[in-house]
Amino acid sequence: MDAEIRESAVGGRVDAPPSKSYTHRAILAAGYTDGETVIERPLVSADTRATMRAVEAYGGTVTETDDELSIQGFGGRPETPADVIDCANSGTTIRLTTAAAALGDGLTVLTGDGSLRSRPHGPLLDAIHDLGGRAESTRANGQAPLVVGGPIEGGTVSMPGDVSSQFVTALLMAGAHMEGGIEIGLETELKSAPYVEITREVLADFGIDTRSTDAGFAVADGQSYAAADGRYRVPGDFSSISYLLAAGALAADDGLEVHGAYPSAQGDAAIVEILDRMGAEIAWDRETGVITVRRSALSGVEVDVGDTPDLLPTLAVLGAAADDEMRLVNAEHVRYKETDRVSAMADELAAMGARVEETPGSLTVHGGDTDLRGARVDGRGDHRIVMALAVAGLIADGGTTITGSEHVDVSFPDFFGELAGLGADVQTTE
């Protein structure tokens, strides 16, 4: 699908979409229970459907109703799947459910699309092996397809922290069902650390106590997953909110309100503070969950994206509209997402007239030397690249066509509908 966006103003009110990160974790946490859990206001998207399929493959059931999921858990010992688990394009799904597979008695095969099969899983496979499980990459390169079996026992493992925080999340979630629990030591600095805090927040809501240690994180055994009153409500997603706030800061003369933006462990809530540092007229009422933003003159700043890699595409676009240099640093790990997001944003913004420089660990956008113009750009099969480029299209001279725009279904299925509802000149074609 192509999406064409023409220079246009936006404004009004929009509700924050539910969080993909919380939805993934809540679905699997509900799968780890021995009973039924209702997840309220989940994000139902291509990625979270992959996690639902994995829960069902392990013996749980997932039933969709209006704005809710009803999940019957498989408990602490998943069944051996009758078929390969296809995680599609969801790195979160394959990593979290790989650790779940290691709790079972049989073998599980997990794979995904071409992009997913290029992403690294080696540290997680090594940890499962060290805990007594079987964990192999069929191509012996740490990438899917993966073959995983157990049951593993608890204990102490160590792993690098600078590849993916999802490895820590996967082991923490499974650890409550391991005999003896688990202690995870980190050999290097933990990147994307707020995502582990999201995991710990969800686990606490399901009755699982985790703790931070001098070396890393730990969870004790003998705990049972159970949400209070059998229900869990998913908060709004600040990764998705970032595109709405960027659109407001660039194109909302009369202001834009985002509702449902309540405080949580999400690191991407930093978008509010970053926009404020750039000079945006922005205000966040944390009690009511409402953020208000309007078109503002922006100045470039330096942002360390070590803990907020998903913000890099949004921030790159904001930098193209700023009056001077925007530097995004500590970005090496952003190259290992659905695509190399550093190079993708550098190339596609350059195609729209931006002056951009990249190094292995940084992206610099020279907004003062940039006048964005409409162009035909490639969404790279990556939902975050597509949405960021759509925001750029709001202020580019002429029309911008984004190929592969259907990939917004991964995290924000109604993105283009919401953008149009705010006044943007948007058309999509198959």
pLDDT digits (tens, 9 = 90+) for 127-165: 999 999 999 999 999 999 999 999 999 999 999 999 999
pTM: 0.87
User: Could you give the C-alpha distances from 308 to 114, 125, 204, 402, 406, in angstroms and in order?
Assistant: 25, 25, 23, 24, 24
Asked if residue 164 belongs to a known ligand binding site, the reply is yes
- The answer on 221 and 122 residing in a single domain is yes
pLDDT digits (tens, 9 = 90+) for 360-397: 999 999 999 899 999 999 999 999 999 999 999 999 99
Average pLDDT, the chain: 96
Count of domains forming the chain: 2
Cβ–Cβ < 8 Å for 191, 333: yes
* Residue 285, annotated as binding a ligand: no
Positions marked catalytic: 310
- Measured CA angle at 156 (ends 201, 21), to 5 deg: 25
The two structure tokens encoding residue 18 = 């539910």
Residue 192 known to bind ligand: yes
Q: Which residues contact 111 (CB under 8 A, 6 or more apart)?
A: 84, 85, 86, 87, 94, 117, 144, 145, 146
Instruction: Give the pair of three-digit tokens for residue 315.
Output: 């921030």
Residue 66: pLDDT band (50, 70, 90) is confident
Domain identity same for 177 and 305: no
Instruction: Output the pLDDT for position 274.
Output: 98
Under 8 Å between Cβ of 342 and 358: yes
Q: Any idea which residue has 């780890």 for tokens?
A: 32
The answer, yes or no, to whether residue 338 has pLDDT greater than 90, is no
> Is 341 annotated as belonging to a binding site?
yes
DSSP string, 8-39: ----EEEEPPBPHHHHHHHHHHHHTSSSEEEE
Residues 163 and 285 occupy one common structural domain: no
Torsion of CA 388, 391, 396, 402, to 10 degrees: 60
Looking at 233, 248, 274, the residue that finishes a domain is: 233
pLDDT given for residue 310 in this prediction:
95
DSSP helix/strand/coil, 422: coil
d(CA 209, CA 203): 7
Instruction: For residues 78 and 75, give the distance between their C-alpha atoms in angstroms, rounded to a whole number.
Output: 7
Q: Does residue 151 have a cis peptide bond before it, meaning omega lies within 30 degrees of 0?
A: yes
Q: How do residues 203-235 score in pLDDT, each as one tens digit?
A: 999 999 999 999 999 999 999 999 999 999 999
Same domain as 112, residue 175: yes
Q: What does residue 260 show for φ and ψ, rounded to 5 degrees?
A: 85, 20
- pLDDT band, residue 76 (cuts 50/70/90): confident
CB 377 within 8 A of CB 401: yes
- The one-letter amino acid at 427: Q
Question: Is 25 known as a binding-site position?
Answer: yes
Tell me, what's the pLDDT at 352? 98
Looking at residue 122, its amino acid is G
Q: How far apart are CA 338 and CA 361, in angstroms?
A: 17
How many other CB atoms are found less than 10 A from the CB of residue 189? 11
Report whether 100 contacts 74 (CB < 8 A). Answer: no
Rounded mean pLDDT, 114-126: 96
Q: Are strands 231-233 and 256-259 parallel, antiparallel or unpaired?
A: unpaired
321: containing domain: 2-17+236-429
Give me the pLDDT at residue 415, please.
97
Please give the average per-residue pLDDT across 24-44, as a whole number: 97
Helices (H), 37-90: 46-57
User: Is residue 191 part of an annotated ligand binding site?
Assistant: no
**Residue 317 shares a structural domain with residue 388:** yes
If asked whether residues 273 and 201 sit together in one domain, one would say no
pLDDT at 430: 82
Binding site annotation covers 367? no
Which of 198, 233, 268 marks a domain boundary?
A: 233
Is the distance from CB of 385 to CB of 341 less than 8 angstroms?
yes
Are residues 122 and 37 located together in one domain of the fold?
yes
Find out whether 27 and 62 touch, Cβ atoms under 8 Å: yes
* 384 assigned ligand-binding residue: yes
Annotation-wise, does 337 bind a ligand? Answer: yes
Residues 144, 283 share a domain: no
Last residue of a domain, one of 218, 233, 248: 233
List the one residue out of 393, 378, 417, 352 whose CA is nearest residue 250: 393
CB 403 within 8 A of CB 376: yes
45 and 153 assigned to the same domain: yes
pLDDT at 334: 94
H or E segment to which residue 111 belongs: strand 107-111
Indicate which CATH number applies to the domain containing 372.
Answer: 3.65.10.10
223 and 242 both lie in a single domain: no
- Judge whether 91 is annotated as a binding position: yes
- Residue 373 marked ligand-binding: no
Tell whether 166 and 265 lie within a shared domain. Answer: no
State how far the Cα of 225 lies from the Cα of 233, in Å rounded to an integer.
16
What is the largest distance, in Å, between two alpha-carbon atoms of the chain? 61
Cβ-Cβ contacts under 8 Å for 379 (sequence gap 6 or more): 385, 386, 389, 402, 403, 404, 405, 407
pLDDT the model gives residue 336: 86
Q: What is the mean pLDDT of residues 64-93?
A: 95
Residues 6-23 have a mean pLDDT of 96
User: Are 112 and 147 members of one domain?
Assistant: yes
pLDDT tens digits for range 245-268: 999 999 999 999 999 999 998 999
